[in-house]
């Protein structure tokens, strides 16, 4: 069984920063790409960022590029999302996710991920 647990969300003002963490267990962490998604109320879950196994490559959605940084610490089985210059439009529940296929390199599609955390709320106010 794969377990993903997010933490680090909270309320920040526009322009502020947060770092999200995702603790993973139940599989060989370094053998899988890991991703971050977010979902605002009434909207579909949106891809945010992905990092390859074991951590050599990254890919971001355009709206966060240059502001967010995805990283991983394989020794700690932990995924991170550093979020800087936050905007109100970043307000959402943020989920970490792991693809079912260990061969996936930089998956960005919702349906490419089989395992999801419970999410952590990020609220950005003006």
Asked whether residue 70 carries a pLDDT value surpassing 90, the answer given is: yes
Quick: pLDDT tens for 95-116: 999 999 999 999 999 999 999 9
**Position 55 confidence tier, pLDDT thresholds 50, 70, 90:** confident
**Position 81 confidence tier, pLDDT thresholds 50, 70, 90:** very high
Edge-to-edge strands, sheet with 68-73: 3-7, 18-25, 78-83, 68-73
Computed over every residue of the chain, the mean pLDDT equals 96
How confident is the model at residue 56, as a pLDDT?
85
Compute the distance between CA of residue 81 and CA of residue 120 in angstroms, rounded to an integer: 12
């Amino acid at each position: 069984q794969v377990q993903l647990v997010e933490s680090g969300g909270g309320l920040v003002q526009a322009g502020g920063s947060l770092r999200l963490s995702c603790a993973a267990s139940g599989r060989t962490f370094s053998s899988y790409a890991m991703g971050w998604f977010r979902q605002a109320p009434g909207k579909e879950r949106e891809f945010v960022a992905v990092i390859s196994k074991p951590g050599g490559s990254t890919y971001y959605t355009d709206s966060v590029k240059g502001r967010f940084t995805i990283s991983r610490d394989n020794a700690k089985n932990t995924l991170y999302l550093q979020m800087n210059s936050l905007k109100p439009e970043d307000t959402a529940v943020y989920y970490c996710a792991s693809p079912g296929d260990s061969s996936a390199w930089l998956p960005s599609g919702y349906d490419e991920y089989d395992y999801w955390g419970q999410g952590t709320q990020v609220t950005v106010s003006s």
